[in-house]
Amino acid sequence: MSRRAAAYRVAVRRGRGGPVDAEHRVTAVAWVEDGRAPGGGAGGAGGATAAAAEAGPVTFFRSCCKPFQALPLVERGHADRLGLSERELAVICASHSGGRVHVAVVRGLLARLGLDEGALLCGFHFPQDDESEAALRCGRVGHSAVYNNCSGKHAGMLALAVAEGWPLADYVAADHPVQRACVAAIAEVCGADPAAVPVSIDGCSAANPALSLTAMARGFARFAAARPGADAGDARERALARLRTAMQRHPVLVAGERRFDTDLMVAARGALVSKGGAEALQCVAVPAARAGVALKVHDGHHRAVGPATIAFLAEHGWLEPDAVAALKRWAEPVLHNHRGLEVGDVRVFPEASIPSPAGAGSA
């Protein structure tokens, strides 16, 4: 196994090549699995249990951990018993835009469970999908938690509770068996001791653990390396492979149109699995390389995520040049003012320096 890291500064420049208006510091870590099967317990494939505070900043896993929160539902056989489709598994792992397709899949899953939208405890927010937002704001449809970007994850948690016979009321409570199972699965796949991992309340009210970027990258490397079917070592590995395949085959359900996760997976033609989270955390699985990437913009500004993630993947040969070209609007965003005039750009540079044009200041 090996770990690789890089640090970047993402510069926001006013005027092409002009002075720097703002900058964001970024740390990226990659973990590459060896040739052995990616074990499911703490420590993984022959490795010692990793402390949560190992190399790399420690931060909350936010929505990047959604595929691992889905593990108890899949590895315990409940997804099969409930007859869940790939589309439903993809939306369970999603931070979706709240578009019609996303809402329809979540509603279908709830109906399968005999539940309505009132069972969701993720709360309401206006979605990123323009059509759904307009319908909600003008009152054509009523406010509902089904439009929350985490509603798929919560439907999956409700499915776990139904399948296990656990109480549905307050399934988001930290001491509820659903949350205990999800946090344990996240910690274990990342090589951490569940009892030693700090846990807080996420934006959707579910429990969310904090881990080092190295631990997150390790988890996504196991996600990348997991083998399906008869070749898998255990139920956890099969579950990881099944969830990864669902995300690869349904990238629009994982996020939505004009969203970075969806655009990255489409541009990579299924060679990557991408999952972003709040406060500018980004994780990527690279199956062909058995590698996982965890990247954090330290000030939490999302405009730095695309440039830094694309730069890191390209540097390691994990994103083909044609994919990089297709992602130009994410790799090198152009800034426009309210009249639509081009006023600057966003570029990524190594941590050591940001080049300044002749005669221009750098601050």
What angle do helix axes 305-315 and 260-267 make, rounded to 10 degrees?
20
Share above pLDDT 90 across residues of the chain, in percent, rounded to a whole number:
85
pLDDT of residue 73: 98
What is the mean pLDDT of the segment spanning 67-81? 98
For 338, other C-beta atoms within 10 Å of its C-beta total 5
Sheet containing 58-60, strands listed edge to edge, beginning at the edge strand earlier in sequence? 58-60, 207-212, 199-201
Q: Among residues 94, 103, 38, 42, which one has the least CA distance to residue 67?
A: 94
H-only helix segments in 5-119: 66-69, 71-75, 78-82, 86-92, 100-113
pLDDT of residue 354: 53
Q: Tens of pLDDT along 282-308?
A: 999 999 999 999 999 999 999 999 999
pTM of the entire predicted model: 0.91
The DSSP code for 249 is H
CB 95 within 8 A of CB 255: yes
What's phi and psi for 150, nearest 5 deg? -100, 10
Per-residue pLDDT band for 38 (boundaries 50, 70, 90) equals very low
Q: Tens of pLDDT along 170-188?
A: 999 999 999 999 999 999 9
Q: Tens of pLDDT along 187-197?
A: 999 999 999 99
Q: Where are the domains of the chain?
A: 2-350
Q: 291 to each of 245, 248, 264, 323, how far by Cα in Å? A: 16, 16, 16, 18
Res. 275: pLDDT tops 50: yes
pLDDT of residue 353: 52
Taking CA 317 as the corner, what is the angle to CA 315 and CA 323, rounded to the nearest 5 degrees?
A: 95
CA end-to-end span of the chain: 41
Q: Tens of pLDDT along 203-240?
A: 999 999 999 999 999 999 999 999 998 777 899 999 99
What angle do helix axes 177-189 and 151-164 make, rounded to 10 degrees?
110
Res. 244: pLDDT tops 60: yes
Res. 278: pLDDT tops 80: yes
Q: What is the mean pLDDT of the chain?
A: 91
